[in-house]
Amino acid sequence: MPTYSDIPFDLDINEFGDLILLEDTDSIRQSLRTIVLTKIGTKTKFQNPIFGSATADLLFEKLNPFTLSNLEQEVEFAIENWEPRVQIETINVESDVGQHEIKIQITYSIINLQITDELTINLSVLS
C-alpha cells in the first residue's frame, strides 16, 4: 500500500479501465515538477493565486551566477512552501549558454519513507 498517491496528468488507465495512480516517488516527482514549473499567479487546479514559483520570470534574466543563484533560492523557497512531504538535500542549477538551457537538479528525502530521490528539470531559455 503506497504512502502517497496522486492522479497523473496524462490520466493513463489499466486494462480494467481503472485510473493508474502515481505512487510514492512518482507522486512526489510530479508534485515537485508542478511546483517549479507553475508560474505564480497562474490559474491552477489548486485555485491558489500564490501557488508555484517565480522560476519562469527568472528565465528572462541575463544568465550569470547571480541569476543562477536566484533560481536556486526560488526553487528551494517554492518547494519548502508547497511540498511538506520532502526535505531538500541539495539544489544545483547549471546553465549551458550554448544550448540555451538551464538544468535544475534537486536531491531530496521523502519524509516518512526514508527514501532519497533526485529530480532533474531542463528548461529552455530564450536568447
| Nearby residues of 89 by Cβ (< 8 Å), 6 or more positions away | 107, 108, 109, 116
Q: Give yes or no for residue 83 having a pLDDT over 80.
A: yes
Of the listed ranges 2-6, 24-28, 40-44, 115-119, the least confidently predicted one is 2-6
Of 91, 99, 49, the residue nearest 74 (C-alpha): 91
**The total number of structural domains that make up the chain:** 1
Which DSSP string corresponds to 41-110? T---TT--TT-SBSHHHHTTS--SHHHHHHHHHHHHHHHHHH-TTEEEEEEEEEEEGGGTEEEEEEEEEE
pTM: 0.83
CA atoms in the 13 A half-sphere facing the CB of 4: 18
- What digits encode the pLDDT tens for the residues 10-66? 677 767 777 666 577 888 898 999 999 999 888 666 677 788 898 988 887 788 889
Task: Provide the pLDDT for residue 121.
Answer: 95
Per the structure, the complete domain to which residue 51 belongs is given by: 5-124
Per-residue model confidence (pLDDT) at position 50: 84
Local structure of 37: helix, strand or coil: helix
Here the CATH number for the domain that contains residue 40 is 3.10.450.40
Question: Which pLDDT score, from 0 to 100, does residue 45 have?
Answer: 62
Give residue for cell 542549477: 93
